[in-house]
Structure 1
Amino acid sequence: MESEDRSAAEARWLKLTRESLPAVARTRRWPVEADHCFQRIFLDTACDGVWYDRIPGRPAYAHADRALLDRAIALAEAALADEVDLAVLNRRSLTWRRKRTVPLSGS
């Protein structure tokens, strides 16, 4: 039963990020259109930071614990329903990533 639920959650995630969200991105003037960008934004937001600091493996959705995946799906659904500001979530994700990057000495 749980594996079926997990499979359904992963299928929902992929449909949202690969089909549903990219299909409306241009008309909504979102800052991203590619599936991996949507995945980054929602996984980072669900993790409250850069997802690869919390998820041990790739693809991230397949290695995320179920609660985290459910949060990411809920965020994606909220964006699709126009209930969250995708541009704000994208800026926050990019800020987390810039803060995580440490320049090499002498740079």
Structure 2
Amino acid sequence: MEPFDETTREILQTRWFSLTRHELPDAAMTRDWPVHLDHCFQRILLDNACQGPWRDHIAPPAYRNASDDVLLEAIALGELVLDGQRDLAELNRKSLAWRGKLRGDKDA
């Protein structure tokens, strides 16, 4: 895939922040999700898009340094979670397992 131009990349980043800073945290208030903080949604979606801890694949800040493909995949996962088509708890378990941090409390 050819890299997106700057305008398209800005649109992707705007969508990323709207989804992870507003839409998912707002939805978490009425759903039984294991997390509710923006950075937790970002971790879960990026880890699953990378199939491992995102910091092993992307230099921080991830929104700026992730490939277009990874950012698109993370956004798509977030939209599926928001629409109830993907299980956030399952994605969180995968993320925590990759990080060696499976535990019972919320907002890991």
Question: What's the TM-score, normalizing by structure 1?
Answer: 0.88
Is the helix fraction higher in 1 or 2? 1
Shift of 1:95: 0.5
1:5 to 5, 8, 33: 8
Q: How big is the alpha-carbon RMSD for the aligned residues of Structure 1 and Structure 2?
A: 1.2
CA distance in 1, matches of 2:30, 2:61: 28
Larger RCO (CA within 8 A; separation ≥ 6): 2
Moved beyond 3 Å, runs of 4+: none
For residues 46-69 of structure 1, the C-alpha deviation after alignment (integer angstroms, 9 at most, x for no partner) is 00001000002x221111010010
Equivalence for 1:53: 56
The structure with the larger Rg is: 1
Residues paired across the two proteins, number = 98
2:20 to 17, 20, 24: 17
Question: What's the TM-score, normalizing by structure 2?
Answer: 0.87
CA distance in 2, matches of 1:14, 1:29: 22
Equivalence for 1:71: 73
1:41 and 2:37 matched: no
- The alignment-based identity, stated in percent, is 52
